[in-house]
Structure 1
Amino acid sequence: MKHPFHTYRSLFPILSGHVHLAACSGSALALPVAKAVDEYQNGLLTAGADWKAHLDKMDEAKEKFARLIGAEKEEIAVLPSVSDAVAAVAASLPQPPHRRQIAFTDIDFPAVGQIWLAQDRFKDHLIIIQSEDGMIDLEQYEKDVTDQTLLTCVPHAGYRNGFKQDVKQIAEIVHQKGSLLFVDAYQTAGHIPIHVKDMDIDILAAGTRKYMLGIPGTAFLYMKRELCGQFEPKTAGWFGRNKPFALDSCFAEGAKRFESGTPSFISIYAADAALRLLLEAEPGRIEHYLRELAAFSLQYGAEKGLKIIGPETVHNRTSLISVYAEEAGRMEALLREKHIIVSARNNVIRIAPHFYNTKEEIGFVMDEMAALFG
Structure 2
Amino acid sequence: MKHPFSSYRKLFPILQRTAQLSSCSQSALSLPVRRAIDDYLEVWLQRGADWGYWMEQVALARAEFARMIHAEPGDVAVLGSVSDAASSIASALDFSAERREIVTTTLDFPSLCHVWLAQQPRGAQVRFVQAQAGGTRTSAQIAEAIGARTALVSVSQVCFYDGQIVDIAATGRAARAQGALQFVDAYQSAGAVSIDVRAQELDMLAAGAQKYLLGIPGIAFLYVRPTLAQRLRPTITGWFGRVDPFAFDPLHLDFADGAARFNTGTPPMMCACAARASMALLNEIGIPAIEAYLAELSALALEEAARLGLSVASPGACGAPVAKGANTAIHIPNAARVEAQMLQSGYVVSARNDVIRIAPHFYNQADEVVGALRELARLTR
User: 2:127 aligns to what SS in structure 1?
Assistant: strand
User: 1:323 aligns to what SS in structure 2?
Assistant: strand
Cα deviation digits, residues 296-349 of structure 1 (max 9, x gap): 111011101111112113231012100000110110011111221000000000
User: 1:186 aligns to what SS in structure 2?
Assistant: coil
Work out whether residues 156 and 188 of structure 1, in 8 Å CA contact, stay in contact via their aligned partners in 2: yes
Deviation at 1:54, TM superposition (A): 0.8
Once the two structures are overlaid, the 10-residue window that deviates more, 148-157 or 232-241, is 232-241
User: 2:198 aligns to what SS in structure 1?
Assistant: helix
Match of 2:305 in 1: 301
Q: Distance in 2 between matches of 1:95 and 1:73?
A: 30
Distance 1:32 1:139, change over 3 A: closer
Distance 1:370 1:280, change over 3 A: same
Q: Distance in 1 between matches of 2:166 and 2:273?
A: 31
* Partner of residue 262 from structure 1, selected from 242, 260, 266: 266
Compute the TM-score of the two structures, normalised by the length of structure 2.
Answer: 0.95
Work out whether residues 80 and 263 of structure 1, in 8 Å CA contact, stay in contact via their aligned partners in 2: yes
User: 2:78 aligns to what SS in structure 1?
Assistant: strand
Q: What stretches of structure 1 of length at least 5 have no aligned partner?
A: none
Distance 1:134 1:119, change over 3 A: farther
Q: Distance in 1 between matches of 2:366 and 2:167?
A: 27
Instruction: Answer yes or no: is 1:346 the counterpart of 2:353.
Output: yes
Instruction: Answer yes or no: is 1:286 the counterpart of 2:290.
Output: yes
Distance 1:348 1:123, change over 3 A: farther
Q: Distance in 1 between matches of 2:140 and 2:89?
A: 27
User: 2:77 aligns to what SS in structure 1?
Assistant: strand
Match of 1:69 in 2: 69
Q: Distance in 2 between matches of 1:52 and 1:158?
A: 38
Instruction: Answer yes or no: is 1:161 the counterpart of 2:162.
Output: yes
Q: Distance in 1 between matches of 2:278 and 2:143?
A: 38
Q: Distance in 2 between matches of 1:139 and 1:275?
A: 32
Q: Distance in 2 between matches of 1:123 and 1:10?
A: 53
Residue correspondences, number: 374
Q: Distance in 2 between matches of 1:260 and 1:170?
A: 29
Q: Distance in 1 between matches of 2:9 and 2:348?
A: 16
Q: Distance in 2 between matches of 1:123 and 1:302?
A: 47
Work out whether residues 141 and 174 of structure 1, in 8 Å CA contact, stay in contact via their aligned partners in 2: no
User: 1:196 aligns to what SS in structure 2?
Assistant: coil
Once the two structures are overlaid, the 10-residue window that deviates more, 9-18 or 304-313, is 304-313
Work out whether residues 213 and 274 of structure 1, in 8 Å CA contact, stay in contact via their aligned partners in 2: yes
Q: Distance in 1 between matches of 2:345 and 2:17?
A: 10
Match of 1:149 in 2: 150
Q: Distance in 1 between matches of 2:228 and 2:140?
A: 27
Cα deviation digits, residues 87-129 of structure 1 (max 9, x gap): 1111222447331111111111001111111123456511111
Mapping for residues 49-60 of structure 1, pairs under 5 Å: 49-60=49-60
Deviation at 1:137, TM superposition (A): 3.7
Q: What stretches of structure 2 of length at least 5 have no aligned partner?
A: none
Instruction: Answer yes or no: is 1:26 the counterpart of 2:13.
Output: no
Mapping for residues 154-233 of structure 1, pairs under 5 Å: 154-233=155-234
Match of 1:371 in 2: 378
Work out whether residues 21 and 358 of structure 2, in 8 Å CA contact, stay in contact via their aligned partners in 1: yes
Match of 2:44 in 1: 44
Distance 1:192 1:35, change over 3 A: same
Deviation at 1:66, TM superposition (A): 0.5
* Partner of residue 249 from structure 2, selected from 207, 232, 246: 246
Work out whether residues 206 and 222 of structure 2, in 8 Å CA contact, stay in contact via their aligned partners in 1: yes
Work out whether residues 314 and 330 of structure 2, in 8 Å CA contact, stay in contact via their aligned partners in 1: no
Work out whether residues 342 and 352 of structure 1, in 8 Å CA contact, stay in contact via their aligned partners in 2: yes
Instruction: Answer yes or no: is 1:326 the counterpart of 2:329.
Output: no
Work out whether residues 207 and 221 of structure 2, in 8 Å CA contact, stay in contact via their aligned partners in 1: yes
Paired amino acid for 1:341: V
Match of 1:316 in 2: 323
Once the two structures are overlaid, the 10-residue window that deviates more, 215-224 or 254-263, is 254-263
**CA RMSD in angstroms, aligned pairs only:** 1.3
Q: Distance in 2 between matches of 1:74 and 1:94?
A: 25
Percent same amino acid at aligned positions? Answer: 41
Q: Distance in 2 between matches of 1:358 and 1:164?
A: 23
